[in-house]
Structure 1
Amino acid sequence: MNKNNWVFAFDLDGTLLQRNNKANKYTLDVLKKSKESGNINIVATGRGVAKTLPLLESKAIDHMDYLVCSNGTVIYDVKNQKSITLNSLDKNVFDIMKNIAQEKNLIIAIDTNSVNATSLPNNKLPEWLNDVDIMDMNILNLMSLDELSTLVLHPDTKLTQIAFRNPLKDAINNTELVRTLISNYPSEVYLTNSIYTDVNPKNTSKYNAVKYILDLLNKTNENLISFGDSGNDLELIKNSKIGIAMGNATNDAKSIAKHIISDHNSDTIGKFIQKVLDNKINLD
């Protein structure tokens, strides 16, 4: 395939971003080269737009054409600085998850069409968070649960994602509890990076949003190369011409990937893309 026909899609946390919350320098250099050759670069993340744009502004990530945020609920066009909200959640889902968060002492965060916000249990960091966890937290717009509720209930608010930060030992059970309790509402539930419960509108996924972009560009899955590491990347990896799992990926991501590369804290993505640009990757 011609080198300027590729669409590259990257998960952020555990994939494109290293532990320092920045992309590898060599990888960024290769992304620049790829974009200048006419290829398209897309971020596909569970983070909301307000938590992703600062990474572009600080050059922690760069050379991106689109940001797929909130697990595919929102698409941000970098060049035109415009967002498209593809779907929204029933606000009753927030009430159910708010009650679970209170009962289980969880951190709850919401993404909306206007703001991202987080509420801590009893307005303080829970004791189950260790020092490393605290450093990794990406908290934006701290609010009380009452303030969060007021924001959600505003008639102009479109709720695009609700997420829990769970203790590792409880994450699977809490995710299944959410899946059960909101089953009457059209939604998608993901366990992400082993600790987050992400809830998005029905038929919303990173892949569906990337497919939306592919259609805009008159391209297909045959043009798509994706990189991921977790449960919310599975559909994207599976439907790509070349789906790649990181070395630190979950077993389910590795099991469906065409290639498994090194872990995210390295230049492995840049090296793989360079091989694609040099036509040194088997496409069959």
Structure 2
Amino acid sequence: MKKDAAKDIKIAFFDVDGTLVDMEKKIISPKMIETLKRLKKNGIILCIATGRGPYMVPTFPGIDFDVFLAFNASYCYTKDEVIFENPILIEDVRKIVANAAAINRPISVANVEGCAANGCDKDLADYFAIGKQKVKVADDFEKIMNGKVYQLMVGCGKEEYEALLKDVDGARITAWWPRAADITPAKGNKGVGVEKVLEYYHLKKENAIAFGDGSNDIEMLQAAGIGVAMGNATEDVKAAADVICGDVTEEGIYYYCIEHGLI
């Protein structure tokens, strides 16, 4: 991106884990806080895009995000209204839960209010711990799974993906951690969320920049005018991005924004 291209950027999308937040330290750095504040001061709309549900989206001191793309953008909202929602078909939710049980994997379903699981194993517990959450095993799991479900979370490896999605047409796996997966609507991803948000603000693709590091960020980077992969991103993300910035541990976003005149 040329330095003068910064004038076209009006909105910025950020993944959380591995992008805004160092996965090892699990905290946002003072420099990243400064970056977000300066972007906001420059009139750039700030959007957080995450696999987490609304109740798990982190808050950062002094930062007021404008838009939230939760559940890998299956539920997009501002503080005042819902921009877009895309729940998984009930029949697909039921099939996925049955498929998980068949391979002895407990599973958690998520709606806007929270998560409910039918059990827990180490992989699922460790996955929730990344977001500083605990798995909630619910007595009314069946009732919740038959309501609006935006995402399912299950501990698994890649070799289990096929079994989990057996005979399921309307859902897909979006994974950013090797020991677990998020299962989301087949036609939903962070890229769709970016498109819906741009439409909401009457902005064009070239007005958007996006930062990410995991495989579930690929569509988001492609939907933005400028897709930036973190230095710590997986190779498929780097291949899909327009440019690569520094590692999250090296304040990659801060230095990228400085270099290209965004702050």
Scaled to the shorter chain, the TM-score interval is 0.7 to 0.9
For the 8 Å contact 1:109–1:162, the answer to whether it is kept is yes
Shift of 1:143: 1.7
Aligned length: 258
Partner of 1:23: 28
For the 8 Å contact 2:194–2:223, the answer to whether it is kept is no
2:130 is aligned, of 131, 136, 161, to 136
C-alpha RMSD over aligned residues: 2.6
Q: Within the alignment, does 1:63 sit opposite 2:64 as a pair? A: yes
Q: Which amino acid aligns with 1:86?
A: E
For the 8 Å contact 1:89–1:160, the answer to whether it is kept is yes
Residues 192-243 of structure 1 show CA distances to partners (whole Å, capped at 9, x for unaligned) of 2333322222321111111111112111110111111122111111232211
SS for the counterpart of 1:159 is: coil
Q: Which amino acid aligns with 2:88?
A: L
For the 8 Å contact 1:49–1:76, the answer to whether it is kept is no
For the 8 Å contact 2:231–2:252, the answer to whether it is kept is no
Q: Which amino acid aligns with 1:158?
A: K
Residues 38-117 of structure 1: matches in 2 within 5 Å? 38-52=43-57, 55-56=58-59, 59=60, 62-78=63-79, 80=80, 82-117=81-116
Q: Which amino acid aligns with 1:276?
A: H
1:174 is aligned, of 160, 169, 172, to 160
SS for the counterpart of 2:197 is: helix
For the 8 Å contact 1:22–1:60, the answer to whether it is kept is no
SS for the counterpart of 1:222 is: helix
Q: Percent identity?
A: 23
Residues 155-234 of structure 1: matches in 2 within 5 Å? 157-166=147-156, 171-183=157-169, 186-234=170-218
Give structure 2 stretches of 5+ with no counterpart. none
Give structure 1 stretches of 5+ with no counterpart. 280-284
Q: Which moved more, 1:260-269 or 1:231-240?
A: 260-269
Shift of 1:190: 1.8
SS for the counterpart of 2:82 is: strand
Shift of 1:92: 2.3
Q: Which amino acid aligns with 2:26?
A: N
Q: Which amino acid aligns with 2:111?
A: T
Shift of 1:2: 5.7
Partners in 1 of 2:141 and 2:215 — Cα distance? 27
SS for the counterpart of 2:249 is: coil
SS for the counterpart of 1:210 is: helix
Q: TM-score, normalised by structure 1?
A: 0.80
Change beyond 3 A, Cα 1:61–1:48:
farther
Partners in 2 of 1:192 and 1:140 — Cα distance? 19
Q: Which amino acid aligns with 2:109?
A: I
1:235 is aligned, of 219, 237, 253, to 219
Residues 234-273 of structure 1: matches in 2 within 5 Å? 234-273=218-257
